[in-house]
Structure 1
Amino acid sequence: MKNYLQLNSSLPIIIAHRGASGFRPEHTLASYELAIALNADYIEPDLVSTKDGILIARHENEISTTTNIAECPEFVDRQTTKLIDGKSVTGWFTEDFTLSEIKTLKAKERLPFRDRSFNNQFSIPTFQEIIDLVKLKSNEMGRSIGIYPETKHPTYFASIGLPLEKPLIEILHNNGYKSATDPIFIQSFETGNLQKLSQLTDLPLIQLLENFGQPFDLLMNGDRRTYKDLTTPPELAKIAKYATGIGPNKQMIIPVDSDGKLLSPTSLIADAHAAGLLVHPYTFRNENQYLAPDYNHNPEAEYEQFFSLGVDGVFSDFPDTALRGLRKF
């Protein structure tokens, strides 16, 4: 079932990817607040856990690239190496810090080609703080602002005794988000995580799909299905039993060749719609290195093409550009 914002609009939704992350350090209240000011329909927080089980917004549980933790001498002894989803990762991890310790850190811009003048100004928000911001701004602006949380590495967090599912649903239900028509989507790259969530809540779920590899939970269970396998009509029908839609990498809709030039669109949108699934591709960005040369350095042209193909929403680092593309469409 579509949720409130999709039910009340025939237009695709604009999902602010990690907030207005093209303008502010990602996953900060400043990034989310700017996204709301730029009229995004939804803001997207990636969620990981602290040592004391509090959900916070970070793209990864390893936080050396998005915070100033490497500059904090009191935490130098916390640097370690872990196996995260089968990959060896060295750094500092949220699950090794309490919320009070996390709150001493400041966010920084992850990408070297984006504005770094806001480094060390903003703290790391909890999921509750993000919900509070959304409720405040919804009241101030007189419009419904949605939240689109993603569970990060759910199999890993469960393996260390910090499962994400119940804390996530508890905080959403306690804040009044309970219905399939509420302005919420919960997303994950894992399948079992979403299936567990479907047993805990009526809130809409989105199966994320990458254009390579396979869901980590399937790998751990000896299931050889890849993300590409999950895009076949029979597998989409299975996804529809527990999810409201899919969030595919945009190249699963319009592939590119070895030179980055666009190829013919696939049937994924039509196949997903035939299964009753929404389609919210990711990630749209303004910088030229993310644009196919066919768009001639015009990011709005990319949005227009995807909207013309029938997507139901887009994840964008630049929600203002996405909105301009939608208006042109």
Structure 2
Amino acid sequence: MNEHIASAKRTIKSEYETIRNLLQVIDESFREACELILDTKGRVLLIGMGKSGHIARKISATLSSTGTPSFFLHPAEATHGDLGAITQNDLAIIISNSGATSEIISILPALKKLNIKIISMTAIEGSELTKYASVNLRIPSDKEACPLNLAPTNSTTASLVLGDALAVALLEARNFKEKDFAKSHPTGTLGRKLTLSVNEVMSIEDEIPRVLVDQSIGDAIVEMNRKGLGMTLIVSLKNELLGIFTDGDLRRSIDSGLDLKKTKIDIAMSKTPKTIPRNTLAMDALEIMNISKITSLVVSENDEICGVVHLHDILRNGLTT
């Protein structure tokens, strides 16, 4: 086996074993930590130094996006003014594998003066950090995957997984739903999938291709070319929806040998166009198109034509199935 592959497998196996060990040390302290956070009226501060700081940033971001307001506080910057960002309603989660990181220890007295409750995340019970903590979430005290046992690997992986476990437990406790998640992701793909409706992307008014039922296939082709949606609606004089004529219908008309200039459109149109209400999510519309193998849907309310949504209107917004 190639030495690089062997090294990768050793590292993954080592970190996998640490995660298994983490399962064994989850106890009542985890429940206590969750209850402390749920009872917090302010925000949850995540504090860590070095690699633990990077993990703390990620946990903070996950908490914020899943219903628990949070921000990262750099311990070295904290003693140079950033402590002013903390209020007495806040709570701190502090990550330090050793529980003795000097930059961490230096801010503990200040946090105590502010009456900030602390949840520690460390491998060393009885460390200086745990003495200040209301609850300690234990990290397995395994060796690092690094052959020198120096570069944080297993310990940071365990911290990250423990942070994810906290975030998921909290979002479940808060009954956090997709619509809540979308509020903190309004412009990302995830947010658009959960919030973007066809009403926001559909063609409306003069953008909608339409011809009267007594016009010819040739007239429909002209309208399709003008509007560029690969289809046209067939309507009555009262703008009632009677059918739809698509590129596929045009090909079938040609194959059937119909006289495109003389044949009325009602001979070639599909009489049962698929319609959806305007508040339909774009993702749901996309799924309907994929299942039905079509590229457009008519948007209607109370039997009135509101618009047409085309496959490309949805794809342009970054949505895919």
- Normalised TM-score (structure 2): 0.26
When you count helix as a share of all residues, which structure comes out higher? Answer: 2
Question: Based on CA coordinates, which of the two structures has the bigger radius of gyration?
Answer: 2
Ranked by relative contact order (alpha carbons within 8 Å, sequence separation 6 or more), the top structure is 1
- Normalised TM-score (structure 1): 0.25
